[in-house]
Amino acid sequence: MTKRKTLAAGLSLLAAAALCWPQAAPASLKPENLAGTWDIEVSADGQYFYMTLVLGLVEGNLTGKVSEQSGFFTDTPCQNLAIDGRKFTCETNIPTPPDGAVRTWTIAVEVDGETFTGSISNPELQISAALTGKRSKK
């Protein structure tokens, strides 16, 4: 066997072994992992909006409220808070341009320690925007 074939066979064997090696599943989130204050940046069509998400525990259950950092809305309660593996979702009813009507928005993120990435969306307006978050306080 030539050196090239031997090298290719060896690399193939290593790749196959890596795929078969048991991988630890990412640890599932727990409500206490999310509790704290999260600074959020929403990016929508070149515009940026900043919000604060405060998550807490009441009798072991996750609660939340969201505020727009310029004061457009404050302490709006979150509903339907859910954790699925590393994913966190919730809904909040906030005033929405262009008419200021209150609409339900869904926040869906994947949490990685002290940061998260995901989206905020509203099906009525057919809008979805990227968001990132970083915990500012536990």
Q: How confident is the model over 87-106, as pLDDT tens digits?
A: 999 999 998 877 889 999 99
Q: How confident is the model over 18-74, as pLDDT tens digits?
A: 444 444 445 788 999 999 999 999 998 899 999 999 999 999 899 999 999 999 899
The range of the structural domain enclosing residue 118 comes to 31-137
Q: What is the pLDDT of residue 26?
A: 53
Whether 17 is in a domain gets the answer no
Q: What DSSP string runs through 3-31?
A: HHHHHHHHHHHHHHHHHHSPPPPPPPP-H
Q: What is the pLDDT of residue 28?
A: 85
Is the pTM higher than 0.85? The answer reads no
Q: What is the pLDDT of residue 100?
A: 86
Backbone φ and ψ of 116, nearest 5°: -150, 160
Whether 110 is in a domain gets the answer yes
Q: Is the pLDDT of residue 12 over 60?
A: no
Q: What CATH number does the domain containing 84 carry? A: 2.40.128.120
